[in-house]
Amino acid sequence: MFGMTNPETALFMMCIFLFFVLLGFPIAFTLLAMGVGFGYFAYFTPDMTSIFDNRIFHLIINNTYSVMDNHVLTSVPLFLFMGYLVERAGIVSKLFFAIRLASHRLPASMAVAALVTCALFSTATGIIGAVVTLMGLLAWPAMIQAGYDKKFASGVICAGGCLGILIPPSIMLIVYAVIAQLSPLRLFAAAMLPGLLLAFLYICYAIGLAMWKPHLAPKPKAEEIPEKSVIIREVIISFVPLFTLIILVLGTILGGLATPAEAAAVGAFGAIVLAYFYRTLKWEAFKESVFLTAKTSAMIMWLFIGSWTFASVFSYLGGHEIFEHFFKSLDLEPWQFLVITQIIIFMLGWPLEWTEILIIFVPIFLPLLKTFGVDPYFFAMLIALNLQTSFLTPPMAMSAYYLKGVQKKNVELMDIFKGIMPFLLIVVIAMIIMYNFPGLALWLPTALFGPA
């Protein structure tokens, strides 16, 4: 290995990392181990006085401090706490019930209610596992009991649960802002219309399929629908307060009145008030929310530290330069560059999670944006849409495994995969629409904050 040139070592490092990930090793610590092992080689000098007199250890300390000291990342645990509290306090189940009643006249009304609930709940938490798991326990059995096709119901839950990656305030966008050194406020504004577009396309597909094949999504029986006054009361009690909280959080961010961290603090406090208002907040649920917030935050931060260490060593060895020279040598048109990068991101979504894709691979493409004249915010939205597929693409579709985990004996994994496929195609259609109409991503940030 010591006889290799540095770029060869960088590529060898990447191959070893992917090999260990496919074997099932914990990704954060695999990244850290690869970073330390190859970093020790990269920074080795003959005059070192001791084994710890190597710059790789200083790099890890600096990366750890940078993650802890980053004011943008402060919002991550606060948004997580808001989401877990909303989930544990039973607010989402009330929300789903209210939307289900309000949309009873629509074809596939329960699927529509599940997708709208997923979109709203996604604004409270960006953790995909939490949304898919909760909706898999809440909405999936209700749909099956109402006579819905298992494949269709599974696709709705898995696809709807992934909207949290895209719809602000998304944790993924906060992470992207840190990596690409972009404004999180502009990223949130840029993601609003593409996120709503994708949710709208999902809903249109569900309604269209139910109109074409009514047996896949039967209409509710007349005796199951309460009086209009009851429906209005449920919507006011269950939908309006949470929707108001979400608008308050997003409105203060997009209006420039608060930073993401300040808005997240307001959201977390608002979730406590809502839980108290509904009288559903038990001490055990509160403790569980705090514990899960600490656990998930620690996982994300260690992923950051491991990924940054890996990426720093990979770049130092010349790994990023290989890709940069490769793309420049192809003499590509901007659209060809975008297509190739999105195909690479799509394929990386099979074995990897979005954090590793963002922290290790996205920095490879960022320096090339200026070369090809691509707007960084537009590129960010293409990646945000594309990362939906990393949770929906078999055989590593994590959302399918989350659903299978809570409905073990009730549905086969192959049925979930079959149900997901149409939604996967919809994501690709949404990307094509956004590519042809870049204003979907660029109009709102320009309107709110002026030219970048």
CA distance 60 to 36: 8
Residue 144, pLDDT score: 92
For 79-107, the pLDDT digits (tens) are 888 878 887 777 788 888 888 888 888 89
CB 91 within 8 A of CB 280: yes
- Range with lowest mean pLDDT among 119-128, 308-317, 353-362: 119-128
* Residue percentage of the chain with pLDDT more than 90: 20
Residue 314, pLDDT score: 87
Residue 436, pLDDT score: 92
Residue 210 or residue 63, greater confidence: 210
60 membership: H or E segment, kind and range = helix 55-69
Residue 430, pLDDT score: 94
Tell me the CA distances in angstroms from 170 to 208, 264, 313, 352, 377, one per residue in order. Answer: 29, 11, 28, 19, 15
CB 345 within 8 A of CB 360: no
CA distance 255 to 381: 20
Within 8 A by CB and 6+ apart from 218, the residues are 146, 147, 148
CA distance 83 to 68: 22
The predicted model gives 328-336 an average pLDDT of 85
CA distance 353 to 390: 7
CA distance 17 to 25: 10
Residue 125, pLDDT score: 61
Residue 124, pLDDT score: 63
CA distance 316 to 371: 21
- Range with lowest mean pLDDT among 20-24, 152-156, 262-266, 351-355: 351-355
For 243-273, the pLDDT digits (tens) are 888 888 888 888 878 888 888 888 888 888 8
Residue 127, pLDDT score: 62
- Assigned token pair, 293: 């917030």
For 374-413, the pLDDT digits (tens) are 999 999 999 999 888 877 887 777 788 888 888 888 888 8
Residue type, 357: I
The predicted model gives 358-367 an average pLDDT of 82
Residue 4, pLDDT score: 47
Residue 129, pLDDT score: 67
The model's pTM: 0.85
Residue type, 127: I
CB 405 within 8 A of CB 361: no
Residue 3, pLDDT score: 41
For 106-129, the pLDDT digits (tens) are 898 999 999 998 888 777 665 666
Is the predicted pLDDT of residue 37 greater than 60, yes or no?
Answer: yes
Is the predicted pLDDT of residue 5 greater than 60, yes or no?
Answer: no
Residue 438, pLDDT score: 92
φ and ψ of 425, to 5 deg: -65, -35
- Assigned token pair, 443: 């109009």
- In whole numbers, what is the pLDDT of the chain averaged over residues? 85
